């Protein structure tokens, strides 16, 4: 069996997943290929693309016509002739063109997506069109079971599986006993609007007024850096440290030497940095708008959630953690490790293999009339201009 993973870019977290899956699936006589469409324009531009698998290494999507993208991708898929394509949501080029190729060649298509449709407001016609094309997929690969409700009435639950939003948990495990006495709460985030760092800093002012024994360590860079430093000065924050951009290889030790992780984002399609923090043994303090929180946060068990629009609520939850005794913090740390150990590469591989074997004895779907019509008109997009807002 030949399987292709196809997406607009396959950087950062996808690199480790693909490496693991290639080895795992090869043991079951399944060859895994990867196709990355664009070398430029990625929100993860700090991470280099895979030169062996990138179709347009010197271009971003807006430098190409949709016809050029389609022609080169279809030529590559014709060369590989995969039995199954795993592609991103049909709103992207990878999903829109991948599913179209599969329906034309009588092959299976698996769509992966970590965005919840309910989080994006669409009018009836757009929603109907998107749902109709999504129904043409043979299976859906979602992060966790709480996403299933998003597809009720749209997709057959027997062909929904889970667990692709994983990281290499082992990279964040330090060979030492985890302590919770560093008096540090850490936030690792791009310094952009959607991360809601203004409200986090305002909440931290309230925290300092009640308990100034803890430090807030902010790791990351971005266009909001100068504004946030000015805000910190205006709020007279004394226990806030801007660490700037830290090399990925050094992040695990920063996490290990902290006591809890906080992320106040207005929205996160998942939030894989939460996985990283938990793999390092950190309790988590999360915005209720972070999708990962539904699966990975046990309220009071390994952390607390808060309303990202309410700096008072954010401060209360941070203080609630700070005021726990050391034994309670250690229990939260251990619980984070227990939870994240259920969301790992091994589970991801088993879930995918189960569906691939199931597909091997099933015929691919046939496009419906409207499904075929909509697929012929829609080729996808890659507009990331609003991702930071």
Q: Is 388 part of a structural domain of the chain?
A: no
Q: How sure is the predictor about 383, in pLDDT bands with cuts at 50, 70 and 90?
A: low
Q: What are 318's two structure tokens?
A: 């941070």
Residue 385: pLDDT above 60? no
Say whether pLDDT at 246 is over 80.
yes
What's the confidence (pLDDT) of residue 263? 98
Over residues 356-377, mean pLDDT: 92
Confidence at 47, pLDDT banded by 50, 70, 90: confident
Are 156 and 194 within one domain? no
Looking at the predicted structure, is the pLDDT value of residue 68 above 70?
Answer: yes
Q: Number of structural domains, the chain?
A: 2
Average pLDDT, the chain: 94
Q: Is residue 139 scored above 60 in pLDDT?
A: yes
What pLDDT is recorded for position 200? 98
Do 154 and 240 belong to one domain? no
> What's the pLDDT tens digit per position in 82-132?
999 999 999 899 999 999 999 999 999 999 999 898 888 888 888 889 999
Indicate whether 183 and 324 sit together in one domain: yes
Q: Does the structure show a pLDDT above 80 at 44?
A: no
Phi, psi of 306, deg, nearest 5? -150, 165
> CA 272 to CA 265: how far, in whole Å?
13
How confident is the model over 224-252, as a mean pLDDT?
A: 96
Q: Is residue 382 part of a domain?
A: no
Which pLDDT does position 122 carry in this prediction? 84
Residue 384 confidence (pLDDT)? 60
pTM: 0.94
Predicted local distance difference test score (pLDDT) of residue 93: 92
**CA 57 – CA 271 distance, rounded (Å):** 27
322 domain residue, yes or no: yes
Output the CA–CA distances (angstroms, integers) from residue 316 to 146, 217, 241, 341, in the order listed: 27, 18, 21, 29
Task: Map 122-148 to HEC letters.
Answer: CCHHHHHHHHHHHCCCCEEEECCHHHH
Q: What is the CATH number of the domain that holds 99?
A: 3.40.50.2000
pLDDT, one tens digit per residue, over 273-318 is 999 999 999 999 999 999 999 999 999 999 999 999 999 999 999 9
State yes or no: pLDDT of 331 exceeds 80.
Answer: yes
Specify whether 12 is located in the same domain as 157. yes
Does 383 map to a domain? no
d(CA 229, CA 234): 9
pLDDT over 80 at 381, yes or no: no
Question: Does 106 share its domain with 59?
Answer: yes
335 vs 380: which has the higher pLDDT: 335
CB contact at 8 A, 283 and 175: no
d(CA 150, CA 269): 13
């Amino acid at each position: 069996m030949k399987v292709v993973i196809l997406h607009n870019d396959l950087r950062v977290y996808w690199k480790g997943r693909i490496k693991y899956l290639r080895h795992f699936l090869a043991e079951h006589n399944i060859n895994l290929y990867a196709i990355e469409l664009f070398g430029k324009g990625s929100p993860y531009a700090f991470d280099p693309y895979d030169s062996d698998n990138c179709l347009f290494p010197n271009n971003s999507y807006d430098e190409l016509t949709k016809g050029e993208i389609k022609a080169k991708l279809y030529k590559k898929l014709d060369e590989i002739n995969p039995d199954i394509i795993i592609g991103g949501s049909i709103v992207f080029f990878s999903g829109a063109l991948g599913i179209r190729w599969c329906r034309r060649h009588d092959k299976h298509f698996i769509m992966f997506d970590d965005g919840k449709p309910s989080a994006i407001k669409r009018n009836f016609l757009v929603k109907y069109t998107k749902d109709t094309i999504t129904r043409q997929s043979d299976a859906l690969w979602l992060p966790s079971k709480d996403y299933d409700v998003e597809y009720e009435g749209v997709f057959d639950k027997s062909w929904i599986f889970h667990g692709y939003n994983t990281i290499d948990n082992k990279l964040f495990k330090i060979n030492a006993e985890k302590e919770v006495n560093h008096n540090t709460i850490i936030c690792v985030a791009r310094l952009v609007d959607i991360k809601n760092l203004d409200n986090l800093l305002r909440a931290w002012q309230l925290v300092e007024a009640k308990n100034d024994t803890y430090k807030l360590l902010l790791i990351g860079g971005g266009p909001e850096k100068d504004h946030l430093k000015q805000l910190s000065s205006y709020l007279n924050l004394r226990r806030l440290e801007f660490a700037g951009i830290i090399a990925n290889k050094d992040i695990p030790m920063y996490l290990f030497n902290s006591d809890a992780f906080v992320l106040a984002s207005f929205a996160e399609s998942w939030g894989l940095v939460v996985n990283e923090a938990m793999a390092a043994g950190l309790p988590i303090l999360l915005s209720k708008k972070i999708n990962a929180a539904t699966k990975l946060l046990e309220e009071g068990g390994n952390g607390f959630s808060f309303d990202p629009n309410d700096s008072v609520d954010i401060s209360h939850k941070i203080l609630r953690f700070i005021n726990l005794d050391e034994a309670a913090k250690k229990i939260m740390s251990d619980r984070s490790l227990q939870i994240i150990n259920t969301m790992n590469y091994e589970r991801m591989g088993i879930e995918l293999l189960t569906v691939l074997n199931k597909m091997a004895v099933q015929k691919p779907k046939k496009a419906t009339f409207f499904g075929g019509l909509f697929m012929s008109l829609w080729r996808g997009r890659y507009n990331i201009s609003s991702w930071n807002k």
